């Protein structure tokens, strides 16, 4: 029997796994990468400037097209991508 690890599968927020950006624990509406470098936060942000503003060390990138979530990247991760 082989074991397959889903390292690319995102983690979901929950009681024992708060969202790194907003701290959400009541449900699984926020998701983030295994290394917590990329976060899709349930709270879209109209008050933040993309690529300028930060929340808890994460740079706000953009709201998704339907306005239901916001994408944040950890500063170190963003620098590695450029």
Scored b (16 or more CB within 10 A) or e, 48-72 reads: beeeeeebeebbbeebeeeeebbbb
Q: Of 60, 73, 66, which Cα lies nearest the Cα of 32?
A: 73
For residue 31, list its beta bridge partners. 12, 40
pLDDT digits (tens, 9 = 90+) for 27-75: 999 999 998 999 999 999 999 999 999 999 999 999 999 989 999 999 7
| pTM metric for this prediction | 0.80
Amino acid 2: pLDDT: 45
pLDDT digits (tens, 9 = 90+) for 44-55: 999 999 999 999
Amino acid 4: pLDDT: 44
Eight-class DSSP state of 23: -
| Cα gap 34→71, rounded to integer Å | 15
């Amino acid at each position: 029997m082989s074991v397959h690890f889903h390292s690319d599968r995102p983690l979901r927020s929950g009681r024992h796994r708060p969202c790194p950006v907003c701290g959400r624990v009541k449900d699984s509406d926020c998701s983030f990468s295994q290394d917590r470098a990329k976060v899709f936060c349930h709270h879209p942000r109209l008050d933040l400037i993309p690529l300028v503003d930060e929340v808890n060390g994460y740079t706000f990138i953009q709201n998704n097209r339907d306005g239901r979530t916001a994408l944040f990247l950890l500063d170190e991760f963003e620098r590695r991508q450029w």
